[in-house]
Amino acid sequence: MTTVHNYLYADTFTVTLTATNENNGCVKTLTKEDYIIVTIPGGMSDLVGLNEQIYIYPNPNKGIFNIVVKTGEKTDLIIELMNIQGQIVYRNNIKGVLTFIDEIDVSEFAGGIYYLRVNTGKQVKVEKVVVY
């Protein structure tokens, strides 16, 4: 059996593996605990099928973070930040850019999980943003 866990942010995690073998009524259990360090280079995410790249940093953050969207051609963008209830708390319409850089400040909002949606008109990408 293979188990995969996708980590959403860079951090150090404690991992516990427990394996049990039942053979002829005899049960043997082995537990191994270790830690792993997960790194995500630059918070980069590719928009599938296009040349766009999204960078969000730092993530997690204290309510102020940067976004960089790089496109392969001049593109109109709609950038929205939604809270966990799906309410849009930030929106920016950008016209005809190759590279868009912005600092987003939501420090007046409660900490929690937000979703940043980037719409190129051809593709929509949603990234999780953690504010603490």
- Is 52 domain-assigned? yes
Nearest CA-CA partner of 121 in 67, 69, 68:
69
Which parts of 11-86 are beta strand (E)?
11-23, 26-38, 44-46, 53-57, 64-82
In the chain, the percentage of residues whose pLDDT exceeds 70 is 76
Q: Over 80: is that where the pLDDT of 34 sits? A: no
Average pLDDT over residues 7-21: 69
Average pLDDT, the chain: 81
Strands 53-57 and 64-82: antiparallel
- Is 55 domain-assigned? yes
- Is 118 domain-assigned? yes
- Is 11 domain-assigned? no
- The CATH number given to whatever domain includes residue 56 is 2.60.40.1930
Beta-carbon contacts of 94 under 8 Å, excluding residues fewer than 6 positions away, are: 76, 77, 78, 79, 100
Give how many domains the chain has, as a whole number: 1
- Is 34 domain-assigned? no
Domain span including residue 117: 41-131
**What is d(CA 84, CA 99) in angstroms, rounded to the nearest whole number?**
28
Q: Over 90: is that where the pLDDT of 11 sits? A: no
